[in-house]
Structure 1
Amino acid sequence: MRTISMTAAGAALVVAAVAGCGSNAQPIQVNLAASEVLTQAAQKTAEVTSYTVDAVVNLTHPQQGSGKVQGRMLYQSKPQLAADLTLDTVDMGQRSVPGGVRAVLQGDTVYVKVEALKELLGATKPWIKVPLKDADGGSGEVNEVLTQVQQFDLGNMTKLITASQDVKAAGNETVNGEDTTHYSGTFPVEAAVQQLPADKQEQARDGLAELKDIKFDMWVAADGLPRKIALNGSKDGATLDATLFFKGFNEPVSIQAPPADQVGELPKNTTN
């Protein structure tokens, strides 16, 4: 099934780590132009080593119908790349995933827990282990589920937004108890994709191909980091409406692989 991806992904199932060490963020200068704030936000997110994000993504497609993905993710880049994604709602057109989805990334391996996959793939354990190097050759169902992990990445999302040529400040607002400045604008898909590393551009372009200019709103706190990002786009009956809340920058997170006795390998006889 083809879905609209709101962020650039790359060849792996999870976006590459946001590199860097702990941030000693300084308050942003109030006289910065809006475009400079976007650039600074992208730079500062590259220094973030961990965060938590809550997201709601609503999609519509002229042939496939409407869909919704809702969940949260813990992310860390040090001491090794890791992410823990829980999707409470995964509905795509006439299809849904009963019981939701759980995915844990540890280094170069992703562990996936989806009850429906046990029947589809013949798995015998609650969790399926998928090496990232085998991801592109894995089952369509596994790839479709894990693609959602890519949609929660902060670093690449802020890079996309820096392609905006019309961003402007839209006032001061409080987000989850924190004072922020609201910025609003649009970015053209092709120009935004070119802000990403070369190895991530092709998949990003494919994922965003059904949209044209994407409207965004970003709420930035005094440390220069986004606390909320909203994206909206449409083209020929396809629409995207996504809202993400970020918190816990550089705070310790605990991301553990599932117990070994609950993990099985991806069945070898799966096909796309």
Structure 2
Amino acid sequence: MLKRTMSMTAAGAALVMAAVAGCGSNAQPIQVNLAASEVLTLAAQKTAEVTSYTVDAVVNLTHPQEGSGTVQGRMLYQSKPQLAADVTLDTVNFGQRSVPGGVRAVLQGDTVYVKVEALKELVGATKPWIKVPLKEADGGSGEVNELLSRIQQFDLGNMTQLVTASQDVKAAGNETVNGEDTTHYTGTFPVDAAVQQLPADEQEQARDHLAELKDVKFDIWVAADGLPRKLAMNGAKDGASLDATLFFKGFNEPVSIQAPPADQIGELPKDTTN
């Protein structure tokens, strides 16, 4: 039961964090006469430089055997002075199962702290937080390790690189996103070609993450500084589907990501994998 709950938590959160775990920016305005494909290329370059941001995300997914589910939450991210993320998932459900009380996860360097209310009943945890060093995450916490590896290995810069593989991107008008003027671009990208845009050491995991999808449709809303304020992606294959919408703000603004108090942290029991 624990393994199923942790797997649900990780699978849902991974879909969110795979798309949000890093981005970058310059504040120089983009040129209005750039072609749509050039805007995406420029956005990919700019997102690679952002050191912090905030994202709100909703992910709806369907699996041919497991049913449908929703993950909804928010994330604070920073890359300097060390990699850190604070993720709150208010809704994590799939099929007939859910994670009561949601999920909270704090990543600092090579350690993740996870807070899942269900762990108290499942393993008799006496502390609200569980500490999982990434290098030791195996067995029942393997899903957590997979989740966190995606934080480190995927970022918004990479997601923007994926959309640069589009051969049909076009401008779809000017729209306001959270009070900011943006230009809306829409298109599709083939998964195989898109993955080739990423660094060689990240292509395998990206391919695994997108394996259930075929051609992915995307919409991206880019502000005058060349940074995306909203990203929507959806795709389907053989009864599986993904529909994700993410809103970004607070680029390069200071964030405070702290580990939980020491007296609130416990260890994940070794015998909870069955």
Q: TM-score, normalised by structure 1?
A: 0.88
2: CA distance, partners of 1:121 / 1:159: 41
**Alignment partners' CA distance in 1, 2:153 and 2:169:** 22
| 1:117 aligned residue (116, 119, 124) | 119
Aligned runs of 1:115-264 on 2, under 5 Å?
Answer: 115-139=117-141, 142=144, 153-264=155-266
Which whole-Å CA distance do the structure 1 matches of 2:173 and 2:137 have between them? 43
- 1:100 and 1:144 map into 2 onto residues whose CA distance is 19
Q: CA 1:103–1:71 in 2, change beyond 3 Å: closer, same or farther?
A: same
Q: How does 1:16-31 map to 2 (within 5 A)?
A: 23-31=25-33
2:108 counterpart of 1:106: yes
Provide the identity percentage.
Answer: 86
* Residue number in structure 2 paired with 1:41: 43
1:90 to partner: Cα distance: 0.3
Native 8 Å contact 1:6 1:151 kept in 2: no
Q: 1:79 aligns with which of 81, 85, 110?
A: 81
Aligned position for 1:64? 66
Contact 2:116 2:128 survives alignment (8 Å)? yes
Tell me, in whole angstroms, the C-alpha distance in 2 between the residues paired with 1:151 and 1:89.
24
- Deviation of 1:117 after TM superposition, in Å, equals 2.3
Number of paired residues? 265
Deviations 1:99-135 (A, max 9, x none): 0000001111111000112333443311111112223
Deviations 1:205-244 (A, max 9, x none): 1221111000000000000000000011111211111100
The CA distance in 1 between the partners of 2:63 and 2:228, in whole Å, is 29
Partners of 1:84 and 1:102 within 8 A in 2: yes
Q: Which AA in structure 2 matches 1:38? A: L
If the length of structure 2 is used for normalisation, what is the TM-score? 0.87
RMSD, aligned α-carbons: 2.7
1:5-60 Cα offsets, whole Å, 9 max, x none, are 657959xxx95x55x7xx54110011111111111111101110100000000011
Q: Single out whichever of 1-10 and 256-265 deviates more from structure 2.
A: 1-10
**CA displacement at 1:146 relative to structure 2:** 5.5
Tell me if structure 2 keeps the 8 A contact 1:170–1:184.
yes
AA aligned opposite 1:126: P
Distance 2:215 2:196 in 1: 14
* Structure 2 CA distance for partners of 1:144 and 1:270, relative to 1, 3 Å: farther
For residues 97 and 211 of structure 1, the distance between their equivalents in structure 2, rounded to whole angstroms, comes to: 25
- CA shift in 2, pair 1:71/1:59, >3 Å: same
CA contact (8 A) 1:8 1:150 kept: no
Q: Distance in 1 between matches of 2:133 and 2:257?
A: 17
Higher helix share: 2
Q: Secondary structure at the match of 1:139?
A: helix
CA distance in 2, matches of 1:131, 1:174: 42
Q: 1:199 to 1:145 in 2, by over 3 A?
A: closer
